[in-house]
Structures are given as C-alpha cells and as structure tokens.
Amino acid sequence: MNQTPIHRRGLLTAGAAGLFLARPGGAGAATTGTVRIEEPFHGAVLNHRHGRQNKDGLQIQVSGEAPLRDRVTVNGVEAARAGAKFSADLVLKERQTDIVAVSEGAFGRHEHRIRVVWDSNSRPRYRFSIDDNSFFLRDVAQKNYPSLFDCFYLKMLRDLHQKYGAKFVLNIYYTTGDDFDLPQFPDRYKGEWRDHANWLKLAFHAYANEPDRPYQYAPASKLIADLDKVAAEIIRFAGEETLSPPTVIHWGMVQPTSLKPLYDRGVRVLSGFFEPRNGVFDVHYFVDDDRSEYLMRHDALMDFASGIVLSKIDLVCNNTPVEQIPAKLEPLAGDPNRAEIMDLFTHEQYFWPFYRVYLPDHPQRLDTAIRWVTDRGYEPVFYHEGFLGIPE
C-alpha cells in the first residue's frame, strides 16, 4: 500500500474502492467500510497519566470504529470488538509512535494511521510567561539604576524566584511605540543578566504592541525579520544565556506557513488559548477546529508538520482575581488531560500605575498562582529546555 499524507485526525484510509477519509464522529465506519481510530488523537502528547508506565514503556488503549464483521488489528495485534467499536492495548516505547488500525472484511482492507508522542520523562511542572514587556526596559534605561533589580518589576520577579524557585520568560517588544527602542537599552547590565539567566529569560514577542494581531496575516519573512531584530538586541545587552526562543507570539496568531520557520529559529512550543470567540476559534495560530477543540481539553498537541508542540494556557493572572485563582486551577489538577503541565501567563502593563487599567494586586495574583502550584509539587521549567521543559 502506498504511503498517504497525514490528515488532521491521522492518515487517509485506502481500500478496494479507492481512498476514504477517516472523519471524526458519527457511525459512518460501520456502514462505509472504513476504519477510524478515535482515541488517542493524532498528535496527542501522552504521559504516565494516560496509561500504565513502567520500564518497558507506556501501555495505552487504542479504540475506534470499524465495520461490524471486520477483523481489526492495531499495530498487528488483534483488537477486541463490541459492535462497531474496537479496542486494543499498545505499549509505546519510542518518543513518537505510528499507530495503524487495519480492518479486513467484505469491503476489503482499510487502514487508519495516526501518530502520538510519549512524554516518557514527564513529571508535574509549570512554566510562567509574561507578555507585552517593554515598560521595564524603558524604566531601567531611563533611570540608569545601579542594578536591574532596583526596578520594582524585576525586583518583584526576583522575590518570587527566591521565595518559590519560580522561573520567568519575559516576552519583549522592540519598541514601546513612542520614546523607547531596544537599541537604547545599555549593555552594562550584561553580567547581571547572565548571573540570573538560570531563572530569568527574555524572548521575542513582537515588534510593538500595536497594531493588534501584527502577524495574523503577515508573511513569515516579516515575522522572522522582527524576531531576529529583537533576538540580536537581547544578545547584545543580556547575552545568549538570557535569550529564549519565543513561546507566545503577540495575539497568538501567525500564518501556518510561519510555523516551520519559527521551528528553524529554535521554537519548540507555542502557547495559546485555543478557545472560540463568538463561535470562531481564536488565539490558536490558525490551527484547525478539530485540533483547537482537542487543545481546549488537553495540555499539549504536537504539530508534526512543523515539529512544534502547541500548549494550552491554563491561567491568565491579569484576568483572574486573587480569590478565584485556586478555583480556576483546582479542576485542572484533577483532570488527567490537564494536570501534568500548568501553563501560567500574564501581561506586564498591568503592573504599572500609569497604565489605564493598572491592577494594584497584580503581584499578589502571581504570588497566589505560583504558591498554589509549588505547594502541589509542580516544578518550574523553561519550555525550550528538553521536551516541554523536561530533559530528554
């Protein structure tokens, strides 16, 4: 059988009558002669919470639909049948595994192929990302502080690090849009940046805060040019040790053709909301509806075409009052599909009293969220180190 291209839910199926598309939902498999894997999802990132893990691998269950009387195998192992449903146990032994369900019967031979990722060294962890940074850089440059941490914003982050071991990635702009650009930031703090690079990183976010959605319809060349411009400045004034690949692009929207160029610049994870607004998925990097809906309910999903893992943001501190933070996180910790990774997030501007919607309790929101994950054994990580923050 000839290899066929990967569809959003796996590979196309081939049979005696030609090619059939394996689609999610419905009972079509029982009547059309096709076979379809329903669980796991194509691109699923699986860990010990999704099966039984030991020294031999991760044992998971594969399930789906096939014509009633067909014989079904999964990676060569005969599947159990219950009406149109089938299921079979499979042990994952490699980082990536192709799962192939084959049905054979009156309609001929058909197969459905998906690929999953095993997060073999997974353990509970969190990452903290802060978007829209530029004000603190302007503040340090204009005030000419003896130390970076004479800036109240950076001091607050250092206090959280010293208290909880927290790590932060600050996603920065090239310009504030009025009176400050990155070339104005001095390099005399480079040694101090390097001394704290084990917990404090800088990453590209966008050229500027406005216009909104700057890369939603921009060509990859524009996005990469802006990324390279910001990265060069970070290296100049803070050193390569402080530079992190971006994990959030401004507004979480880029053209699909930009994903592979981002991977080539070191991007391994992109975080977004993957939720509908007015009935349309948004802040989702133009991922199709099937995968966006999956990411609403799961920590992560691999985009094999680019090599980038898509991550679901769990908490936006500037949108969540202090007293609501535990209630927001608690259900996630009880869900095996959301519990392993806490993707925490906020925006810089809400810390500054001059900002029109300044939040006086913004530092307390961060403290509450970080204390919550720390008390429950979550480890702070940088996504670009290892696989989703865990060394491989």
Burial of 353 (0-12, 13-18, 19+ CB in 10 A): exposed
- The list of the chain residues with pLDDT below 70 reads 1-33
The CA distance from 107 to 92, in Å, is 30
What is the predicted pLDDT for the residue at 260?
Answer: 98
Q: 310 φ, ψ to 5°?
A: -95, 130
**Longest CA–CA separation in the chain, Å:** 79
The CA distance from 338 to 335, in Å, is 5
What is the predicted pLDDT for the residue at 247?
Answer: 96
CATH of range 125-380; options 1.10.510.10, 3.20.110.20, 3.40.50.300, 3.30.750.24: 3.20.110.20
The CA distance from 176 to 182, in Å, is 9
- pLDDT per position as a tens digit, 244-274: 999 999 999 999 999 999 999 999 999 999 9
What is the predicted pLDDT for the residue at 387?
Answer: 98
Q: What is the CA radius of gyration of the chain?
A: 23
Taking the domains of the chain in order of start, what are their residue ranges? 6-118, 125-380
- pLDDT per position as a tens digit, 68-109: 999 999 999 999 999 999 999 999 999 999 999 999 998 899
Provide the residue count of the chain: 392
DSSP 202-219: EEEEES-S-SSSTTSS--
Record: fold of 6-118: Immunoglobulin-like (2.60.40)
The CA distance from 175 to 233, in Å, is 11
Note if the bond before 40 is cis, omega within 30 degrees: yes
Mean pLDDT, the chain, whole residue set: 93
Please, what sign has the CA dihedral across residues 247, 250, 255, 257? negative
